[in-house]
Structure 1
Amino acid sequence: MRAEGNGRPLRAGLALTACAVLLAGCASMPDGGNLKKVDASQRPDSQSQVRVYAIPPSENARAVDIVQGFLEALTSDDPDFTIARKYLTKDASAAWDPEHSTTVLADGPNTVADNLGNDSGGGRTYSLTGRQVAMVNKQHAYVPDEKSYAQTVHLSQQSGQNGRVWRIDRLPKGIVLGESDFERNYEAVNKYYFAEPGAGTRGGGPKALVADPIYVRQRIDPLTETVKSLLDGPTHWLEPVVNSRFDTGTRLAPDAKSLAPDDKNKLVVPLSGRGGRVDQERCTEMAAQLLFTLQDLASSGVEQVELQREGGSQLCVLGKDRAGTVASPRSTNRPSYQYFVDDKRRLVRMPGNAGSNARPEPVSGPFGQPEEALQSVAVSRNEVRAAGVSADGHRLYTASLVGGSLGGPELRSRGKTPDQGLSTPSWDGRGDLWVADRDRKRPRLLWLDQGTGEPVQVRVSGLDGRIEAVRVAADGVRIALLVKKGDKTSLRIGRVERSGGKGEQPEISVVEPREAAPQMEEVTAMSWAGPSRLVVVGRESGGVQQMRYVQCDGSARAGATLPGLTGVKEIAASEDETQPLLAHSDDGIVRLPSGAQWQTVGKDGTGPVYPG
């Protein structure tokens, strides 16, 4: 059978309301041979905030039109994929679950007609192929998963109003779309859960919250979808080390179809199930989870949350002004100073919000004096203490930043050279200290309770390579590791699990380390730069050095481009995202204030750090 309309352009199944016109087809799709990808976001103004609507199939649509129309309908802003379902048979529509998963391909699905005519049953089959980048699972969690993608779509003829029509009767689970369409349609949001008691900050003050990044469709009621996802509980990867104050089974009340704040930016959330039977303290913690989550949703504008029972009676009310006294993502703390090691191998600091003319000055205490030449330093999150590694990489000291003298080392390494000794240390939000011993004969990840005492070796599961650098998130639950294997250094994010009773030697493990910058062949420096974001320095295969932001789940959202900088060796960011970046480069110690270019702080120096 001759291919239908080979090489002729097709009408695309989308429309932009901003233009009030139908979009012309972006690809020619004959029944035979290799066909072009479906990538709706290549059209003009694809990143602008316009709504994209799908168009149902025409009465005389060819099999090839049905395949293309369905794939383009998946990239639209159709809330329930109602139009996409019109391309399916009734049975296929009933069985298809678009919420099952979202498969993200690098360049959108390429389609190939597997035969030029009908098969023995009178149907036709098309292959969908491409390079898979990631999958967003049913929990809305982004999971990097690079591999070849190959699935099929089968069509059969059905009875229509004016004769036989083509419809899809077999198709892959979930939806599939290109990376650019994914970035246009989906928005990253951090849900927040409480760190388990063993992982949170010690002492008084608000309880520690941990960010759990997800993706929601950004123009399809993202507020309601985010609230539902929060109530469903943490993603599987994070679940072992956090807990939700919402009981399992808590849902929105049946009549709460779509949530929206009122004219005073108060959001009323009616709950069903056990969520309506909690005391006041528990309720305010639930409300705090909601408030911090919705603050990460740029479009929400929520200033206050009221939780209600299913019948409409009030459970509790919490505003942004009080939420920080109940719970806090530790990354919201604003540092007082920026730090680095100067040319005299001592620790110096600059006021956190000062301009480029602020002169660095030595810190108080032994690290500000030439008692021990330093290679690298970490400052505790309360900026009271510091940990320093000697210039030869062999010894780790801790000392006060207020005064006192330098005691004996807390830890020694047998590494032969400085780069085979101790890494730059890192403090977590509990006040505990982490450091990697890069000794080739005995590589270890070590933890020191409050920065002192007998070091505990941390077990790291599923890690193939040697740890070169360590940065612990403020919540103490997630840890970023640079792992070297052969010629490649990758960025891994692990989950910190603790066990052991009170008074016992703790057992600490880093579990399920997952790759956070899969697009980079070599990562040479990194730092946490927000609740779930890191800034990294590295290069892609065959590329040049670059700096970019990545999410801890492995996604790399388009964002502000960082100005170029030559020969970056170290990078430091505050988890308070308003603070400037610091770097050690060929130009010395430099920093990047918001909206400005890199500014030189000092021609000589190493180890720029923020507290942590």
Structure 2
Amino acid sequence: MTGPRTGPRTGPRTGRSPLRSHPPARRVAVVAAVLLVLGLAAGCMQMPASGPVVETDTASGSGDGRATAIDPVPPQPGASAIQVAQGFLEAMTATPIRSSVAQQYLAEDARTSWDPDASTIIYTDSMAPVSVPGGAAIALTSAERLDDRGAWVGDLGPRASTLRLRMVMEDGEFRIADPPDALVVPASWFEQRFRSVSLYFFDRTGQVLVPESVFVPRGEQLASNLVNGLLAGPAGAARLATRSFLPDGLGLGLSVPIDDDGVADVELTGDAPVRSADANALMLAQLAWTMRQDSSIAAIRVSIGGVPVPLPGGVSAYSVEGGAPYDPTGYQSSDLLYGLDRAGLLVSGSPGDLERVSGPLGQDAFGVRSVAVDLAGATAAAVGGDGTSVLQAPVREGEDQGQVQEVVSGATDLLTPSWDVAGRLWLVDRTADGARVLHVDEVGSGQPREVRVPGVTGRDVVDVLVSRDATRLVAVVRGARSDRLQTARILVTDQGRVRGAVADTRIVSEDGGRLRVRDLAWTSPTTASLLSTVRDDLVEVRTITVDGAPSGLSTLSTTVRGPVRGLAGSPVVDQPTYAVGRSRLVDVSSGGEVAVTGVVLRSLGYAG
């Protein structure tokens, strides 16, 4: 609650300052949805007016969500090297998705070695192929890559964005000898045929699920794609921050059949290991949370090597709503709003019914300037008015004898605190040498410990979010001309001790515009929103993804009129996101306003 925190879901879009992300050594388009929007809205990505592509269905215009079927034509006799290159590119847009026609453009040896499942390259436009020594080249615009699991990797860069296809002659015809191991498709085609989903792994302690975003094809194989994604395990920095309880070395049968009652049979191949009931419960929770994204699945049965996995309670099928205690947003966390009124007293309640709490921070003025309440809604951590100390107090009267205690002192300039599911308090101190990221494991008795966060520690940081699962950190780093967002993965041992952090993604203003972030908030476990000023009476709220995957098109950006102090947002996706004024809340999704009566707000936010 730097001011209250939040993020948008839908609303009018603006074209201001699109964001772009960069890992430490290369660029990553975290908001690649911007590219999709530009391609669709501006019409820059169009299927060629001529060539070996035949549309055989118009279902995509019927509103049922099905993509237009595309039946590409195989190579024609006497085709030139340029025509073969163009035909190969177009053949990869076959719908339903298949590689059989594209393979016909390849030399005999390449047909068996080509692996289009190894990665996916998405581009907004392509130039006409040109002849180069030994073959043809195709320049792609704004080309991005996904890995073999469908996780966003990043921008290819100018050099790699040109496909250079070496040609050989076979039976008097040009054929491609060295195709890239990738499915290479337009962004507009990809957006119609793939969807973003989350694969759920666990934090290192096995206490809370952690979602990782990937893209999978739409259609009947969704369940199989979800299971295969879990079997592949976490990748990149996520491998250091998370773990999987699906045994190693397993595969999936041909598919995941789903019966008329919505029960999916997950038949895993391989040797069935001897496992504890706890390990099986964690595996089932991973599968349930991941497979509930397929609306046709109500429950699952799992077998390994033909041996059924025992289900808790002796049930015949495990509900996909199971595993609630491992909720990444916190099991049974408070859904109330918490903030400070004009007098600096702690208030709580629903949007239209905020009142001062009965605990000491709601009854006596301690001169605090920001506050965060733990996920249970029981304990508040408040930064003193000079930013050098943190006070801890119960939210309600009668808890812990209503005592206020100073748990941190001697700081320089503390930002708003945050809490994670383990009850750990996170702090950022803005010192003369830059930001220091601190955590307090045992609030009230433990001492703050510093964790060095690449790209954040030592920088001019103006706002920070820590995910409730304590695996991600997002910081707003102030620059001379424009702010940027730096994300990192927090590393925690199996015993729950914070051991460090690794840099993940750097997100900057793509057009070189001046971006000044006023507030930052979670909108889901994998997306956040930032608030910036357009002019005195207008603010913009933009949604970004924090792990490299593009956000949904409908949640790209929205604007709110009138004075706004901050955002109130939550990683619980069905909790509204609000732009917070002195005496009103604006639902960023719907634009509806809620009057705040009896309280003049300084800040507002959800638990955490």
TM-score by length of 1: 0.80
2:163 to 134, 145, 151: 151
Contact 1:57 1:66 in 2 (8 A): no
Distance 1:110 1:550 in 2: 29
Contact 1:480 1:492 in 2 (8 A): yes
User: Pairwise mapping of residues 140-539 of structure 1 onto structure 2 (< 5 A)?
Assistant: 140-145=150-155, 147-148=157-158, 149-159=161-171, 164-197=172-205, 207-219=207-219, 221-252=221-252, 256-275=253-272, 277-295=274-292, 297=293, 299-311=294-306, 313=308, 315-316=310-311, 318-320=317-319, 323-324=322-323, 327-331=326-330, 333=332, 335-351=334-350, 358-403=352-397, 404-405=401-402, 407-412=404-409, 415=412, 421-441=413-433, 443-452=435-444, 453-463=446-456, 465-498=459-492, 508-515=499-506, 519=510, 522=515, 523-538=517-532
Distance 1:531 1:383 in 2: 19
Contact 1:114 1:127 in 2 (8 A): no
Secondary structure at the aligned position of 2:554 is classed as: coil
Matched, 1:138 2:148: yes
After superposition, give the CA deviation of every residue in 1:245-285 in whole Å (9 maximum; x if it has no partner). Answer: 11211222xxx212132111111111222445434443232
How big is the shift at 1:609? 0.9
CA shift in 2, pair 1:550/1:16, >3 Å? farther
Contact 2:475 2:487 in 1 (8 A): yes
After superposition, give the CA deviation of every residue in 1:199-235 in whole Å (9 maximum; x if it has no partner). Answer: x6xxxxxx31111221112237222011011012112
Contact 1:478 1:494 in 2 (8 A): yes
Matched AA of 2:130: A
How big is the shift at 1:304? 1.1
After superposition, give the CA deviation of every residue in 1:287-330 in whole Å (9 maximum; x if it has no partner). Answer: 221110012x2x44222111123336564355337723563333
Distance 1:68 1:604 in 2: 63
How big is the shift at 1:364? 1.8
Larger-gyration structure (1/2)? 1
Distance 1:480 1:333 in 2: 24
Structure 1 segments unaligned to the other structure (5+ residues): 1-7, 20-42, 201-206, 416-420
Matched, 1:581 2:577: yes
How big is the shift at 1:166? 3.4
CA shift in 2, pair 1:580/1:593, >3 Å? farther
CA shift in 2, pair 1:572/1:209, >3 Å? same
CA shift in 2, pair 1:270/1:425, >3 Å? same
How big is the shift at 1:610? 0.4
Contact 1:276 1:315 in 2 (8 A): no
2:57 alignment counterpart: 17
Range moving further from structure 2, 8-17 or 83-92:
8-17
Matched AA of 2:188: S
Distance 1:278 1:84 in 2: 44
Contact 1:377 1:388 in 2 (8 A): yes
Matched, 1:556 2:551: yes
How big is the shift at 1:437? 0.8
How big is the shift at 1:176? 2.6
Secondary structure at the aligned position of 1:550 is classed as: strand
After superposition, give the CA deviation of every residue in 1:124-154 in whole Å (9 maximum; x if it has no partner). Answer: 322323233x321123221233632223123
1:92 alignment counterpart: 110
2:8 alignment counterpart: none
Distance 2:94 2:519 in 1: 38
Matched, 1:68 2:51: no
CA shift in 2, pair 1:259/1:519, >3 Å? farther
Distance 2:539 2:178 in 1: 45
Contact 1:47 1:184 in 2 (8 A): no
Matched, 1:59 2:76: yes
How big is the shift at 1:334? 5.4
Distance 2:551 2:195 in 1: 12
Contact 2:142 2:155 in 1 (8 A): no
Contact 1:125 1:155 in 2 (8 A): yes
Secondary structure at the aligned position of 1:397 is classed as: strand
CA shift in 2, pair 1:477/1:113, >3 Å? same
CA shift in 2, pair 1:262/1:157, >3 Å? same
Matched AA of 1:438: R
How big is the shift at 1:13? 1.4
Secondary structure at the aligned position of 1:461 is classed as: coil
Structure ranking higher on relative contact order (CA contacts 8 Å, 6+ apart)? 2
Secondary structure at the aligned position of 1:434 is classed as: strand
Distance 2:443 2:187 in 1: 44
After superposition, give the CA deviation of every residue in 1:98-124 in whole Å (9 maximum; x if it has no partner). Answer: 12222233x233234135xxx5xxx53
Structure 2 segments unaligned to the other structure (5+ residues): 1-47
CA shift in 2, pair 1:281/1:533, >3 Å? same
2:3 alignment counterpart: none
CA shift in 2, pair 1:440/1:301, >3 Å? farther
Secondary structure at the aligned position of 1:410 is classed as: strand
1:126 alignment counterpart: 137
Contact 1:104 1:182 in 2 (8 A): yes
Matched AA of 2:571: E
CA shift in 2, pair 1:433/1:280, >3 Å? closer
Distance 1:319 1:213 in 2: 24
Secondary structure at the aligned position of 2:82 is classed as: helix
Matched AA of 1:248: D
How big is the shift at 1:492? 2.5
Matched AA of 1:605: L
Q: What is the Cα-based RMSD across aligned positions, in Å? A: 3.1
Matched AA of 1:434: W
Secondary structure at the aligned position of 1:329 is classed as: coil
Percent identity (aligned): 23
CA shift in 2, pair 1:539/1:51, >3 Å? farther
Range moving further from structure 2, 519-528 or 486-495:
519-528
How big is the shift at 1:413? 5.4
Contact 2:482 2:509 in 1 (8 A): no
Contact 1:517 1:550 in 2 (8 A): no
Range moving further from structure 2, 329-338 or 178-187:
329-338
TM-score by length of 2: 0.80
Contact 1:579 1:593 in 2 (8 A): no
Distance 2:142 2:591 in 1: 37
2:22 alignment counterpart: none
Contact 2:325 2:331 in 1 (8 A): no
2:119 alignment counterpart: 101
